[in-house]
């Protein structure tokens, strides 16, 4: 199976956006799409349909962040919640350890972490303002080893 591709939902009415243009960029994202599509407690969902403005710590300019998913879920107590979900490897969710020798790979990790942190802080603020919850899911929460 390819790491990138188009997803065709079995329940296209649940999808908020164009159900013929759903792209996954990792198998983890695809797994979450299948979960959203098939889970009866997920009332609606979307992939990269929402833009959240954030200020990049790299160039200090405002950019647009497209979180991986929006879901509207019916909780076990019957309440309805809206959530913004980001799928990331666990290693990208923790600050890189300081190294004595700065390789290109290390610099890339530091820059990615700084950008992710800025995006996630902006998403948390956006969610607070709009009554949503923000979550970052890793391989641990997705049940991937």
- Active-site residues, by number, are 29, 68, 88
Rounded Cα distance between 132 and 63, Å, is: 21
Q: What are phi and psi of 28, to 5 degrees?
A: -65, -40
Contact between 69 and 39 under an 8 Å Cβ cutoff? The reply is: no
Rounded Cα distance between 120 and 54, Å, is: 9
Task: Kindly tell me the sign of the dihedral angle through the C-alpha atoms of 117, 123, 127, 129.
Answer: positive
DSSP states of 10-54 as a string? S-GGGBSS-TT-EEESSHHHHHHHHHHHH-TTEEEEEES---EEE
């Amino acid at each position: 199976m390819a790491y990138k591709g188009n997803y065709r939902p079995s329940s296209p009415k649940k999808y908020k956006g164009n159900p013929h243009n759903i792209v996954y960029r990792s198998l983890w994202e695809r797994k979450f799409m299948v979960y959203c599509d098939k889970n009866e407690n997920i009332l609606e969902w979307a992939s990269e349909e929402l833009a959240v403005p954030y200020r990049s710590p790299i160039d200090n300019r405002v950019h647009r962040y497209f979180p991986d998913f929006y879901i509207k879920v019916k909780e076990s107590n019957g309440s309805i919640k809206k959530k913004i979900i980001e799928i990331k490897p666990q290693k990208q969710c923790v600050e890189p350890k300081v190294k004595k020798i700065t390789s290109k790979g290390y610099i890339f990790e530091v820059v990615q972490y700084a950008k992710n942190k800025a995006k996630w802080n902006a998403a948390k603020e956006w969610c607070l303002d709009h009554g949503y919850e923000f979550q970052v899911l890793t391989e641990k929460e997705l049940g991937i080893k």
